[in-house]
Structure 1
Amino acid sequence: MTQPLTVAVLIPAHNEETTIGELVQACLDQPYPIAQLIVVADSCNDRTAQVAREAGASLVLETSHADKAANQNDALPYITADVIVGFDGDSRPTRDCITLMLADLAKGYDATCSSILPLQETGFFIEARRFAYSLGSQWWRLCQRRVGRLQVLTGASYAFRTDVVRAVGGFPNGLISADMDITWKLHENGYKAWYTPAALTLTVDPENWAEYRAQMPRWAAGYFQNVARYRGQMWHWRSLLTVGTAMFDLVTLWWWALVVVYNLATWQHLSMFRYMGYWFAGHTALTMYLVSRVVGWKKAALGFAPYTLLNFYNKWLYTKSMCREWFLGRHYASWTGRSGRKTVITPMTRRRRRALAQVGVYAGTAASLAGGYLGSTALWGLGAAAALCIPLSLVRVRGTGRRRAPAPSHTSPAAPPTTR
């Protein structure tokens, strides 16, 4: 008879004294037995570590990495269980969450993650995020699971075989999004990742514009940093299908907006608006149905408008992040959000500035020559302006303004963890 897999719960936390106690208790209350429960309190200036000990954590490490992957790696030598189940410090698994994830690992998968929903009940941003999570759990994640290339094993609630994590060298760091990093590290090494939709974890989500605006740029930047790091994997047909559809979804919104603006400005092809209306109605009905399967029709109706409005902001943010990360070479390097840390974006290198300036001159000159040849004053003027303005915009002007602090290094030696 096969012995059941043993479980070590790993919780990285930063200033989570208000939620860590309930999270530890929720883990201990799971019907699946917990062999170890380790909390890593990172750079905390509150009672996170003390509350975790009082709640029943078997081991509490106190670190000052300001890096999630480094914290998890500090705990790795202490783990003796077969499986690492990880939760964010502001999350709470529902009953049977661990049992359901472990059942999938017992089938032969190397890693899995649960579904996510907001812990809070209501609010504009909460309803939008609940709609997005529900839609993802019924569409995007199931499609990615079918293809065999999950884009991300959510860091808020995951389960990894311990020997697999050790085999890939631990939790990779250096990028702003650690959960996507470990997901693609598993893909790169041929391990099988899964998704357990029946398992559910509740997590604290942004409740106001300041928190939402602080969280989303990190998610967007982390996505494109990971695609760049694992670009060799993107040529595999499974990766092309998964990441390609996400990129197609990103550009389709802007194509749709440009077509609408062009047709309204020229007053042409107005009949297409009727067909676009049919498409929008069908899309709305499908998404509402999928979301209702998770949270019911009432919550689906409440979340549709907030989700749709924020979707435009999210798409703009992801497009902006793609241009900054891939073309400008300026990388998001800080860990922000409710932790209160400041945003740090690395400066563009001198080599990148020169290369972009040369591209601007060549492209602008070519467009200007084409305009002269075709007799197009507008094209000639646009090309001349590009050839002049793009290099000037890349000149780094030194003034009396304040300089941003350099990005914190994720690879430099950090203070050793302490146990109490």
Structure 2
Amino acid sequence: MTLTIAVLIPAHNEEATIGELVQACLDQPYPVAQLIVVADSCTDRTAQVAREAGATLVLETKFADKAANQNAALPYITADVIVGFDGDSRPTRDCIGLMVADIARGYDATCSSILPLQDTGFFIEARRFAYSLGSQWWRICQRTVGRLQVLTGASYAFRTDVVREVGGFPNGLISADMDITWKLHEGGYKTWYTAEALTLTVDPETWAEYRAQMPRWAAGYFQNVARYRRLMLNWRSMLTVGTAMFDLVTLWWWIFVVVYNLTTWQHLSMFRYMGYWFAGHTALTMYLVSRVVGWKKAALGFAPYTLLNFYNKYLYTRSMFREWLLGRHYASWTGRSGRKTVITPMTRARRRALGTVGAVAGMTVGLLGAFHGSVPLWAIGTAASGAIPLSMIRLTGSGRRRAAHDGITITPAPEQAVTQPLAAAAPDSDPEATLQLATIRH
């Protein structure tokens, strides 16, 4: 039995790329039964270009939320499989067919490999190196143990009935793609990674674009781990997330060791072994990346990837402390969604708890310093016991707050306009009511 597919494309101001994406999907050897574009909060001709390119249904919404847009399209989908692409992506030939073939083999969801659509540039070379390394190492390892960390939203395929069984595409977190992935893990569904399939996507080309995107990815990672923390007791999840956390911590440990040894001028012989490790690591990663993009691109991308890796690790470490320790969550971000960045403030309970723990820790360190006769230790502990609680106090004044609440609230979305006849919907659905009742996270 041949599985029917519906291509689903959520897009925001993608006038420049949506036409080529729609055409690339329709030109695939695998037949497309439905092609639905959700033009969200667009101020350009995205919807019109999508219709002219051949989309069978175009919905215009005002959600400013990817998951909500995908859910708005669900009532219209009658196909067996949902194949999704970001509005700035472009599948290569056979991409859809390869992913659907894995669905036909018994998997409930899969995703393709990703590479930048642009040809060159500092950030493009770094991202190309990272994608290639991930496709040859991280994703293969995660696929092997049955715990992909994320089914990339730029190019995926889900069984339609499975998406409906889990209640649609979950929202509320800053990273919807990882959210649906772990929702499937929670439900015991089988996920896969179709390494042979390839989709090209537009990646950040400037520092401003890169700096805007990465904090969202970092915050979304730790939001998802917190939401699905009970799954971390499973050995598969523990292995997948544990290795990622080990990779994060290891970098800072190496930096600490290097600085300590250079400062004290001790154990200098270890630098020789570190050199051996670095050379071996470089050779292995270069080989893996070269299998995807060739030796020339691997060589061009190594330095940008290595330099940005320090920045990325800093962002992930900062996000881990902010999301888990301080309880300040990314609620929206300044990006192509057209929304402003909002980070929720700490709750009063968490502020009091952190202040108390900090005061106790500071007094403990101060007492230890006094007991051992260490004036620096005593001074640090005494200062911390007073400074940490004071830093937890919310000062009042005329300054503007970044968020108006101590949490994320859900508010009804306005009624959305459907630019195709409602007859295109599934016979047993009420699309208009679905759009009216949809909600978004602020």
1:233 Cα deviation after fit: 0.3
CA offset digits 1:244-280 (Å, max 9, x no partner): 0000000000000000000000000000000000000
In the superposition, the TM-score normalised over structure 2's length comes to 0.93
Supply the AA of the counterpart residue of 2:385: A
Question: 1:176 and 2:169 equivalent?
Answer: no
User: How far, CA to CA, are the matches of 1:260 and 1:374 in structure 2?
Assistant: 28
Q: Which residue of 2 aligns with 1:305?
A: 303
1:418 Cα deviation after fit: 2.0
| Superposition RMSD in Å | 1.2
CA offset digits 1:66-93 (Å, max 9, x no partner): 1100110010011000000000000000
Which stretch of structure 1 is more off in the superposition, 337-346 or 374-383? 337-346
Counterpart mapping for 1:66-215 below 5 A: 66-215=64-213
Question: Does the CA-based 8 Å contact 2:322-2:328 persist in structure 1?
Answer: yes
1:395 Cα deviation after fit: 1.4
Q: Which residue of 2 aligns with 1:417?
A: 416
Q: Which residue of 1 aligns with 2:230?
A: 232
Supply the AA of the counterpart residue of 2:264: T
1:199 Cα deviation after fit: 0.2
User: How far, CA to CA, are the matches of 1:311 and 1:107 in structure 2?
Assistant: 36
User: How far, CA to CA, are the matches of 2:394 and 2:185 in structure 1?
Assistant: 40
1:405 Cα deviation after fit: 4.6
Moved over 6 A (4+): none
Q: Which residue of 2 aligns with 1:284?
A: 282
1:133 Cα deviation after fit: 0.2
Which stretch of structure 1 is more off in the superposition, 340-349 or 112-121? 340-349
Supply the AA of the counterpart residue of 1:59: L
User: How far, CA to CA, are the matches of 1:315 and 1:86 in structure 2?
Assistant: 29
Which stretch of structure 1 is more off in the superposition, 335-344 or 312-321? 335-344
Counterpart mapping for 1:228-377 below 5 A: 228-377=226-375
Alignment partner of 1:383 out of 378, 381, 384: 381
Supply the AA of the counterpart residue of 1:223: Y
User: How far, CA to CA, are the matches of 1:409 and 1:252 in structure 2?
Assistant: 33
User: How far, CA to CA, are the matches of 1:289 and 1:20 in structure 2?
Assistant: 35
Counterpart mapping for 1:36-51 below 5 A: 36-51=34-49
Question: Does the CA-based 8 Å contact 2:11-2:40 persist in structure 1?
Answer: yes
Supply the AA of the counterpart residue of 1:413: P
Structure 1 pair 47–178 and aligned structure 2 pair: CA distance change class (3 A): same
User: How far, CA to CA, are the matches of 1:12 and 1:240 in structure 2?
Assistant: 32
Supply the AA of the counterpart residue of 1:24: V
SS in 1 for 2:342: coil
User: How far, CA to CA, are the matches of 1:45 and 1:410 in structure 2?
Assistant: 26
Which stretch of structure 1 is more off in the superposition, 359-368 or 177-186? 359-368
Structure 1: tracts of 5 or more residues without a match:
none
Structure 1 pair 383–226 and aligned structure 2 pair: CA distance change class (3 A): same
1:378 Cα deviation after fit: 2.1
1:410 Cα deviation after fit: 6.9
1:337 Cα deviation after fit: 2.4
Q: Which residue of 1 aligns with 2:395?
A: 397
Question: Does the CA-based 8 Å contact 1:325-1:331 persist in structure 2?
Answer: yes
1:409 Cα deviation after fit: 5.8
Question: Does the CA-based 8 Å contact 2:9-2:37 persist in structure 1?
Answer: yes
Which stretch of structure 1 is more off in the superposition, 390-399 or 59-68? 390-399
SS in 1 for 2:82: strand
Structure 2: tracts of 5 or more residues without a match:
420-442
1:403 Cα deviation after fit: 2.7
Question: Does the CA-based 8 Å contact 2:12-2:336 persist in structure 1?
Answer: no
The percentage of counterpart residues that share the same residue type is 82
1:412 Cα deviation after fit: 2.0
1:290 Cα deviation after fit: 0.3
Which stretch of structure 1 is more off in the superposition, 221-230 or 339-348? 339-348
Supply the AA of the counterpart residue of 1:323: F
SS in 1 for 2:132: helix
CA offset digits 1:155-204 (Å, max 9, x no partner): 00000000000000100000000000000000000000000010000000
CA offset digits 1:331-377 (Å, max 9, x no partner): 01113324453211011111111010000011111111112222222
Question: Does the CA-based 8 Å contact 1:174-1:410 persist in structure 2?
Answer: no
Question: Does the CA-based 8 Å contact 2:133-2:288 persist in structure 1?
Answer: yes
User: How far, CA to CA, are the matches of 2:3 and 2:355 in structure 1?
Assistant: 57
1:385 Cα deviation after fit: 1.4
SS in 1 for 2:351: helix
SS in 1 for 2:267: coil
Q: How many positions carry a matched residue from both structures? A: 418
1:121 Cα deviation after fit: 0.3
User: How far, CA to CA, are the matches of 1:186 and 1:148 in structure 2?
Assistant: 11
SS in 1 for 2:10: strand
SS in 2 for 1:412: strand
SS in 1 for 2:355: helix
User: How far, CA to CA, are the matches of 2:379 and 2:120 in structure 1?
Assistant: 52
Question: Does the CA-based 8 Å contact 1:67-1:410 persist in structure 2?
Answer: no
Supply the AA of the counterpart residue of 1:169: G
User: How far, CA to CA, are the matches of 1:86 and 1:40 in structure 2?
Assistant: 11
1:29 Cα deviation after fit: 0.3
